[in-house]
A = this chain, B = another copy of it.
């Protein structure tokens, strides 16, 4: 069982790789090799199997030929240009998020080996004039280019799967919170920074009100769901292998209160509450009544509470 993580140097890619190392197997077979592919050399870690790195450019078909070979059994496709950046650089977003996804699928098609491809989409596909709740049967009417690019990725994945070129499964990720490390270019970055920084003694700004609702998932549960997603049998996926990954809706205020419940009152006092006009256009389009029923039925899970997310962060990500 040879596994490839494209975007293996990112927050989710690293956590996924370490979770695979802890398991040692996937889809019922021992993992014989894990490749962490990313734009820059990805950090490696101990594992009961060889962990290799590969630098790659997903937008270059030749680069995808080098990292995906006939032995690649499972591909996690996590690489993406995220929301604020894709809105700012239109060409870059389409090149990485659409052309890049197609390059991966085309490489698999050329090989003829039908690998499992786990694709990460985003709840940014939802919005516009489609009424809530957003179910697995709701139209995708994204109001940012990142969402449009992910919606196209889903349709490609579904069609390449239907044609038998890959065994694809796509999951629309909730906002992943609390992300460790540095902020990325996602408009939802504050959903991590208002916890991550205050829990480590620093201040952070929240650009929305306390009653702003958000559909979130911890990195730990996200990784568990990606692995469960990889292990699903293709027949269980039905005619639409792209679906929403489970998450839970809480308001920012409830999440901040959860931080206080776990870590005391100090961190919350370090949050400032200033609107950020450059994010307003993106944030005002967000609606969060999202029902991930298909994925729940397939056994994927949301966090029980945001208190758990705070604890996971303190356990998994604080350097001690």
**B158 in contact with A141 (CB, 8 Å):** yes
B-contacting 9-mer, from A6-14, A132-140, A173-181, A209-217: A132-140
Q: Do the beta carbons of A140 and B140 come within 8 Å of each other?
A: yes
Residue A201 at the chain B interface, CB threshold 8 Å: no
Report yes or no: B152 in contact with A140, Cβ–Cβ below 8 A: no
Q: Give 18 A-B pairs besides A130-B240, A140-B140 with Cβ atoms closer than 8 angstroms.
A: A90-B163, A127-B239, A128-B239, A129-B238, A130-B137, A131-B137, A136-B139, A137-B138, A139-B139, A142-B155, A142-B159, A143-B162, A145-B159, A145-B163, A148-B158, A151-B155, A152-B152, A152-B155
Complex formed: what's the CA distance from A90 to B61 in Å? 18
Contact A155 B148 (CB under 8 A): yes
Q: What are 28 contact pairs spanning A and B, CB under 8 A?
A: A90-B163, A127-B239, A128-B239, A129-B137, A129-B238, A129-B240, A130-B137, A130-B240, A131-B137, A136-B139, A137-B139, A139-B139, A139-B140, A139-B240, A140-B140, A140-B155, A142-B155, A142-B158, A142-B159, A143-B162, A145-B159, A145-B163, A148-B156, A148-B158, A152-B152, A152-B155, A152-B156, A155-B155
Mask: chain A, 15-40; 1 = CB below 8 Å from B; 0 = not: 00000000000000000000000000
Asked if A138 and B141 sit within 8 Å, CB to CB, the answer is: no
**Do A128 and B240 touch (CB < 8 A)?**
yes
Chain B residue with Cβ nearest A127: B239
Find residues 152-171 in chain A having any chain B CB closer than 8 Å to their own CB.
Answer: 152, 155-156, 158-159, 162-163
**Cα A128 to Cα B152 with chains together (Å):** 17
**How far is it, in angstroms, between the C-alpha of A222 and the C-alpha of B240 when the chains are bound?**
31
In the assembled complex, the Cα of A127 lies from the Cα of B159 at a distance in Å of 13
Q: Bound complex: CA of A133 vs CA of B185, how far in Å?
A: 39
Tally of A interface residues using CB under 8 Å: 27
Question: Which chain B residues lie closer than 8 Å to A155 at the CB level?
Answer: 140, 142, 148, 151-152, 155
CB neighbours of A156 from chain B (8 A): 148, 152
Q: How far is the CA of A148 from the CA of B155 in the complex (A)?
A: 6
| Nearest CB in chain B: distance from A283 CB, A | 16
For the complex, what is the distance from the CA of A239 to the CA of B239, rounded to whole Å? 27
Inter-chain CA distance A162–B151, complex, in Å, is 15
Instruction: Give the distance in Å from the alpha carbon of A152 to the alpha carbon of B244 in the complex.
Output: 19
Instruction: Give the residues in chain B near A151, CB-CB below 8 Å.
Output: 155
Q: A162: nearest residue on chain B (CB-CB)? A: B143
